[in-house]
Amino acid sequence: MPRLRILVPVLVVTMLAVACSSASTLAPTSVPAKPAETKPAASPATAASPATAASPSTAASPAASPAAASASPAASPGASPGASPAAAASPAAAAAKRLRVGLVTDVGKVDDKSFNQSAWEGVQRAQRELGAEVKFLETTDPKDYAKNIDQFAQDNYDVIVTVGFAIGQATQEAAVKYRNVRFIGVDQFQEKTVDNVSGLIFDEDKAGYLAGALAGLLTQSGTVGAVLGTDLVPPVVKFGKGYEAGAKAVKPDIKVLMAYHPGGLARGFTDPDWGKATTTQMIQQQADVIFGAGGNTGNGALLGALERNVLAIGVDTDQWETLPQVRPVLVSSAMKLITPGVFDLIKATGDGSIKAGNQVGQVGLAPFHDNDSKVPAAAKERLQQIDAGLKNGSIRTGVTLP
C-alpha cells in the first residue's frame, strides 16, 4: 500500500500543525489592555445561549448605582448572537428611526466571557430597550479591522462599536473616512479627540479602591494582598494603588502586601505560576484576602488563594463566570462595567447627547454570588456608601500617576 506511506505523515503532521497553531494563537499575545483574557471551559463557538444575556456585567452589583444595576430581564431568543437581527424586531421600537448598531471585535469572539462579550451584551441591550437593529463581526486577523468596520459603515449603520485598544487606530481612521457614523471605542483612550469617536475608558483606581475596601472589611488578620501584572502598564498600577488606598480607608492600620510581576510586558500577564507562588507567600505572611489583577498572572493568584482556602477578589469582568473553578473562594471582582457603558453611549447617540473624546464608564464590584453570606451586612452598607462617594466625587482615591 504505497498510499499509506503518504497518508501517515499527512495525518501526523496535520495534527502537529494544528497543535502548533492553536498554541501559537494563545501564547504570544500579551495584551495588557485586556488582562482578564482567560479562556474558560470551552464554550460552543456561536451558541451563546440566551442565558449569557443575563450578563455578569448588567446583573445588579452590590455597590453599583441604580443606573448600572438595572438588571435587565433575560434576553428573548431573538437576542442570541446567532439569530438574524432583522427577525428580532423589538416591541420597544418606539423611536421613529431605528438605530442601526454594528460591533466589531478585536481578534476575539463575542462569547469570550470578557470584553468582547460584555460589549456585545451592551449592544444587545440596545436592541431590546431601544429597538436597535444590531449585528456583529468577529475579526480573525488585525488586517481586517478596517475592512470589518467598512462593512457596517458602507451599509449606513448609525453606530459602530469597536472593542479593545488594538482596533483603536483603525477606528480613528475609519471615523475620518465616515463622518456621519458614530464610533464607540471600548477601552480606547483618545489621545486626540475626533468629532465622531467616543472612547469608553474606566477609572481602574476606583475599581481597585472598591476591591481594597472590600478586602479591608473582610480581613480578620489585618493583612491583605494584591498580586498584579507588570507595573509598566498604567492601568495595573492604578488598580494596585487604588486597592491600597481603599483598604487603608476602611482600616487605617491594615497591612497591604503588593507584588507587581517583574517580567515586564512579555511575561507580566501570562505567568500564573508566579501569581500562585506569590499568593502562597502572602498567605504565609498572614494575608487572608487576595486581589488578583493581571490576566493569567492574576488568575494564578486566585487559584493560589483557592488552594489555601483564602478569600479572593478578581478583576475586569465577573470572574465568577470566567474562572469558575475559584468560585468557592471568589467573593467578588473589581469590574469595568462595559455593558452599561456601551449601552449608555449607544443611547446617547440615539438622543443626540453623545460627546466625543474620552467617556469614563462606571466601575463596580461583581455580585458576591454564593459567598454572599461571608460579607456582613454592615460591610455591604459601607461598600454602598463608598461606591456612591466615588461616583459623586465626595470620595477620592488619591491615585495619581506620574
Partner 1 sequence: MERSPLGQTLLVQALAVLTGLVAGAVLIWLTGGDPILAYGGLWEGSLGRAASVSETLVWATPYILAGLAVGLAFRGGLFNIGAEGQLSVGALVSAWVGFAVQGVPWPLHLPLALGAGALAGAAWAGLAGWLKARTGAHEVITTIMLNYVALLGTGYLLSGLLKDPSPFVIVAQTPKVLESARIPALFADLRVHWGLVLALALAAGCWWLLFRSTIGFAIRTVGLNPSAARYAGISVSGTVVLTMALSGALAGLAGAVEVLGVNYYHTPGFSVGYGFDSIAVALLGKSHPLGVIPAALLFGALRAGATRMQFVSQIPIDVISIVQGIILLLVAADELVRRVYRIGGRRPAVSAERAAEGTVARSWGRAE
- Residues lying near partner 1 in the complex (CB under 8 A): 2-3, 5-7, 9-10, 13-14, 16-18, 20-21, 23-25, 27-33, 45-46, 81-85, 107, 135-138, 140-144, 147-148, 151, 155, 165-166, 189, 191, 233-235, 264-266
CB of 21 to partner 1, least distance (A): 5
| Neighbouring residues of 237: CB distance < 8 A, sequence distance ≥ 6 | 231, 260, 401
Nearer to partner 1, 27 or 60 (CB): 27
CB of 176 to partner 1, least distance (A): 15
Beta bridge partners of 259: 227
CB of 272 to partner 1, least distance (A): 16
Do strands 363-365 and 330-336 pair parallel, antiparallel, or not at all (unpaired)?
Answer: antiparallel
Nearer to partner 1, 4 or 378 (CB): 4
Nearer to partner 1, 40 or 189 (CB): 189
Nearer to partner 1, 30 or 319 (CB): 30
Q: 248: closest CA among 283, 277, 276, 212?
A: 212
Nearer to partner 1, 134 or 365 (CB): 134
Give Dmax (Cα) for the chain. 81
Nearer to partner 1, 235 or 361 (CB): 235
Report d(CA 124, CA 81) in Å as an integer.
9
CB of 276 to partner 1, least distance (A): 21
User: Looking up cell 492601568, which residue turns up?
Assistant: 235
* 3-state secondary structure at position 197: strand
CB of 396 to partner 1, least distance (A): 24
User: Looking up cell 486626540, which residue turns up?
Assistant: 192
Q: 33: closest CA among 199, 260, 186?
A: 186
Structural contact between residues 317 and 337, judged by C-beta atoms closer than 8 angstroms:
no
CB of 37 to partner 1, least distance (A): 12
